[in-house]
Amino acid sequence: MATPRPRPQVVRLTDAAADRIKYVMANATKPVLGVRVGVKNGGCAGMTYTMEYAEEVGKADEVVEDKGVRVLIDPKAVLFLLGTEMDYKSDKMSAQFVFNNPNQTSACGCGESVQLTPGGAAAPSA
């Protein structure tokens, strides 16, 4: 019997992102298992990233364990997040999680929303 091919990790975390998730989870008002990442329709470019505390693992959640933290990927977002690197950036004016997503085809000027193509789909021609 053939050995199944290992599934690729949907999202990778930078050290900064993992450290921030650890900090956020340690300061949560109630126990949580990790954070849930997804996408939803909205914004001027079409989609926005979502993050929330995860108190339990959903039946269809994709579970990513990286650098000592657990990130749950909403099943509807998996194809949009394939190959994404999740980072955390902080400067004098802002602090935020940043998604370096190879499936992103454009973004709005304010940086709050993005246009995404499912992983493996052909990007629109210019």
Domain assignments of the chain as residue spans, ordered by start? 11-116
Say which DSSP state 94 is in: -
Answer yes or no: CATH 2.60.300.12 is held by domain 11-116: yes
**Binned average pLDDT, 10 residues per bin, the chain of 126 residues:** 72 96 92 92 78 92 93 92 92 89 74 66 45
Per-residue tokens: 50? 């979502």
Predicted local confidence at residue 47, as pLDDT: 82
CA-to-CA separations, 93 to 52, 84, 89, 90, in angstroms, rounded:
23, 25, 11, 8
Predicted local confidence at residue 62, as pLDDT: 92
Q: What is the pTM of this model?
A: 0.78
Predicted local confidence at residue 45, as pLDDT: 64
Predicted local confidence at residue 101, as pLDDT: 85
